[in-house]
Amino acid sequence: MIEVKNLNKEFVFKKKDIGLKSSLKSFLKDKKHTKKAVNNVSFSIGEGEIIGFLGPNGAGKTTTLKMLSGILFPTSGQASVMGYTPWERNNAFKKQISIVLGQKNQLWWDLPANESLNLNKFIYKIDDSVYKKTLNELCDLLKVNELLDVQVRNLSLGERMKMELIAALMHKPKVIFLDEPTIGLDMIAQKNIREFLKYYNQQEKTTIMLTSHYLEDIENLCKRTIVINHGEIVYDGALSSVNGQLAQKKLIKIKTVNFIEDSPNQPWSIRSKENDIYILEADKYNIQKIISDLLKQYNITDFSVENIPLEESLEILYK
């Protein structure tokens, strides 16, 4: 569904110090700087996949999504979405994609949501019966039937985000780009939107590219993750494999009445201690021997072995 080869995007900008003197200097001698927002990016995505597109702020995520949806032209490289070149903005292409930017509205702020949705009906030339059926289905799934005639400015952030999703899905796109769709939402709203997206993907086999700084979004929805940093792809694979490839440690959580001293001679280090519960960090390749030694040395009433938190492995990628 999506094929990207050696995609690049550069932005040219100016820098200027404060003050009139700097303004005049900048006016007379214009110094331009170039930033590579996306650098030689390549990947492919199959039909029906939900891909987590991760990276720190400024990594190039939104720029990539904007190029794939036809909003931005690339500096160089190729991209194909359903066989179309996005920045050619073919009408047939635009009718089959949708993009939701978590920090931007597509609904009219001063009108009820149903007015904006009705406008989309005419823009995408959706048949009356199909429009009513789709609208009812989406509103039932997101539980917002009673909010359709409420002015958008009077909706909560979570309610507005649900309406934004309905507007994006009204024409039943085959490819959806979601940029931070749960930003600023509470835990319940985030969970509702995650469950909705999972169900919608299963029913419609829609291909979804999702960016989010909430790892729970990615863990619940995506089997595969693409990580971008400084405009370059640094990881492309199963989310479950990130820890295996990067984190060479395991966490051992033990409950003991003994005092455990943190010593450089031990094959583990103490991460934290609370009452009689210790969390130790140890090399994952020696974990069996370490547990055996701990059981011999200390009176342990309970223990468990856990992976290093995924956030830490992603932090390694980001660095």
Q: Quick one: CA torsion of 273, 278, 283, 286, rounded to 10 degrees?
A: 160
More confident residue, 215 or 292: 292
Let me know: does 4 contact 209? Beta carbons within 8 Å.
Answer: no
Regarding whether 74 and 163 lie in a shared domain, the answer is yes
Report percent pLDDT > 70 for the chain.
Answer: 98
Regarding whether 264 and 235 lie in a shared domain, the answer is no
Report d(CA 193, CA 142) in Å as an integer: 8
Mean pLDDT of 17-31: 74
Domain boundary among 198, 217, 243: 243
More confident residue, 27 or 56: 56
List of residues 6+ apart from 202 with CB closer than 8 A? none
List of residues 6+ apart from 110 with CB closer than 8 A? 151, 152, 153
Domain boundary among 217, 243, 269: 243
Mean pLDDT of 108-129: 91
Task: With a cut of 80, say whether residue 264 has pLDDT above it.
Answer: no
Regarding whether 50 and 113 lie in a shared domain, the answer is yes
Position 182 confidence tier, pLDDT thresholds 50, 70, 90? confident
* pLDDT, the chain, mean: 87
Regarding whether 224 and 119 lie in a shared domain, the answer is yes
Regarding whether 179 and 89 lie in a shared domain, the answer is yes
Domain count, the chain: 2
Report d(CA 218, CA 54) in Å as an integer: 9
Mean pLDDT of 27-37: 80
- pTM for the full model? 0.79
Lowest-pLDDT range, 38-52, 182-196, 237-251, 286-300?
237-251
Regarding whether 254 and 172 lie in a shared domain, the answer is no
Query: Looking at residue 73, what is its pLDDT?
Result: 94
Over residues 103-114, the pLDDT tens digits come to 778 888 899 999
Query: Looking at residue 14, what is its pLDDT?
Result: 77
Query: Looking at residue 210, what is its pLDDT?
Result: 92
Position 18 confidence tier, pLDDT thresholds 50, 70, 90? confident
Could you tell me which residues are beta bridge partners of residue 218? none
Report percent pLDDT > 90 for the chain.
Answer: 41
Regarding whether 177 and 133 lie in a shared domain, the answer is yes
Query: 113 burial class (0-12, 13-18, 19+ CB within 10 angstroms)?
Result: buried
Task: With a cut of 90, say whether residue 4 has pLDDT above it.
Answer: yes
Task: With a cut of 70, say whether residue 36 has pLDDT above it.
Answer: yes
Report d(CA 252, CA 282) in Å as an integer: 7
Query: Looking at residue 309, what is its pLDDT?
Result: 74
Regarding whether 144 and 23 lie in a shared domain, the answer is yes
Residue 40 Ramachandran class (φ > 0 left, ψ -120 to 50 alpha, else beta): left
Mean pLDDT of 267-277: 85
Sheet holding 32-45, edge to edge: 32-45, 2-14, 76-81
Query: Looking at residue 244, what is its pLDDT?
Result: 65
Mean pLDDT of 124-144: 90
| 289: containing domain | 248-318
Mean pLDDT of 171-189: 87
- In terms of Cα–Cα distance, which of 11, 68, 50, 82 is closest to 226? 50
Query: Looking at residue 246, what is its pLDDT?
Result: 62
Query: Looking at residue 99, what is its pLDDT?
Result: 92
Regarding whether 284 and 146 lie in a shared domain, the answer is no
Regarding whether 62 and 15 lie in a shared domain, the answer is yes
Regarding whether 253 and 224 lie in a shared domain, the answer is no
Query: Looking at residue 287, what is its pLDDT?
Result: 85
Domain harbouring 133, CATH code: 3.40.50.300
Domain harbouring 271, CATH code: 3.30.70
Task: With a cut of 90, say whether residue 115 has pLDDT above it.
Answer: yes
Regarding whether 12 and 85 lie in a shared domain, the answer is yes
Domain boundary among 243, 269, 286: 243
Task: With a cut of 80, say whether residue 317 has pLDDT above it.
Answer: no
Mean pLDDT of 137-147: 88
